[in-house]
Amino acid sequence: MDVIDAVAPLRDRVAAARRASRRVGFVPTMGALHLGHARLIERARRECDCVVVSIFVNPLQFDRPEDLRHYPRTLPADFEMCARLGVDVAFAPGTAEMYPADPSCTIQVGRVASHLCGRHRPGHFAGVATVVMKLFQIVQPDRAYFGEKDAQQLAVIRHLVRDFNVPVQVEAVATVREPDGLALSSRNQRLNAEERRLAPALYRALCEARRSVAEGTTDPEPVRRAAVAAVPRHEGLRLEYLELVEPDTMQPVESIDGPVLAAGALWVGSTRLIDNLTCDPPGTGAPAGPVRE
């Protein structure tokens, strides 16, 4: 595996693969890799000839400086996992390589970012879209892999690619969960034992929404209320949002007559966790039980 920290040699390396007509797969990450990332990489490995993983903690997408400061960084272990999974190139640039100067041009994200995390983390998705657009230009992959755990991010990237005709195929990979339902996230590392015990509350609330939709409730408000009520009252838990949205536009639905996305953000102590589940009304999509994830 090649470890590369600068744009020019990364481009040369990928260009060589492309000249050999090899399909390039790309997995952009912020490091602190876990089994969820492994699934993205494994999928890229199966589908592509040359797999590039980027590891870059992008300051542009952090709305809170302390979140950026405390974001877990585990570079040696990340490289080890990449090598074990057969990654061809790990691209780990520093901030000065990615942003040699304050950028004059950035991506502005409109409607798709008006709810959920977009509403609660101003500038977050503009930062995500800007760095992903940069990485797409640097790596020029044929396919890029994103986790469904970050559903709104995935929607933003789909819009970015569509709106700018970026020549890359976006692939979504299912969320990986702990046995108790907690979605894998680099931020889970920051939970203490008590917080870890409380953390699956978000998943359980989303399951409640899914159950209610599967039973045929078409008004989103009672679905939402039932899900919110499923979060236990506990001083260590604060639900930031829980909404039912249309999966492409990420806009709240007024009536449930097709698959909707239940998405939430839950503060567990000082750690903010997000999760989502697709909710299929009876007779649409996957069978209602056992429910799909």
Q: Tell me which residues are annotated as active site.
A: 37
52 binds a copy of itself (CB under 8 A): no
Residues in the chain: 293
> Locate tokens 């195929």: which residue?
169
Interface residue with a copy of itself, options 41, 87, 126, 277 (CB under 8 A): 126
Q: Judged by CB under 8 A, does residue 50 bind a copy of itself?
A: no
Phi then psi dihedrals of residue 155, to 5 deg: -65, -40
Specify the residue, 124 or 134, whose C-beta has the smaller distance to a copy of itself.
Answer: 134
Closer residue to a copy of itself (CB): 15 or 174: 15
**How far is residue 101 CA from its own chain's centroid?**
27
Contact by Cβ (8 Å): 202, 273 = yes
3-state secondary structure of 56: coil
**Cis before 103? omega within 30:** no
- Alpha-carbon span 172 to 154, nearest angstrom: 7
9 binds a copy of itself (CB under 8 A): no
Q: Which of 1, 5, 11, 75 binds a copy of itself (CB under 8 A)?
A: 11
116 binds a copy of itself (CB under 8 A): no
CB 60, min distance to a copy of itself, A? 11
Task: Please identify, among the stretches 55-63, 100-108, 192-200, 252-260, the one whose residues bind a copy of itself according to the rule CB under 8 A.
Answer: 100-108
Using CB under 8 A as the binding rule, whether residue 129 contacts a copy of itself is answered as: yes
Shortest reach from residue 9's CB to a copy of itself, in Å: 13
Alpha carbon distances (Å) from 181 to 178, 207, 219, 245, 291: 5, 10, 26, 21, 13
Report, in Å, the least distance between residue 190 CB and a copy of itself: 31
- Tokens linked to 130: 């800007």
User: How far lies 242's CA from each of 80, 98, 228, 264, in Å?
Assistant: 37, 34, 7, 4
Give the nearer residue to a copy of itself in terms of CB position, either 158 or 204: 158
Note whether 166 binds a copy of itself by CB under 8 A. Answer: yes
Q: Is the CA virtual torsion 115, 116, 122, 126 positive or negative?
A: negative
The single residue among 2, 12, 163, 194 that binds a copy of itself, judged by CB under 8 A, is 163
**10 or 231, CB closer to a copy of itself?**
10
With respect to a copy of itself, which residue has the nearer C-beta, 76 or 100? 100
Q: Min. distance of Cβ 63 from a copy of itself in angstroms?
A: 17
| Residue 164 touches a copy of itself, criterion: CB under 8 A | yes
**Is residue 282 a contact partner of residue 217, using CB atoms and an 8 Å limit?**
no
Q: Kindly give the pairing relationship between strand 50-55 and strand 89-91.
A: parallel
Q: How far apart are CA 87 and CA 103, in angstroms?
A: 30
Residues within the interface to a copy of itself (CB under 8 A):
7, 11, 102-113, 126, 129-130, 133-134, 137-138, 140, 156, 159-160, 163-167
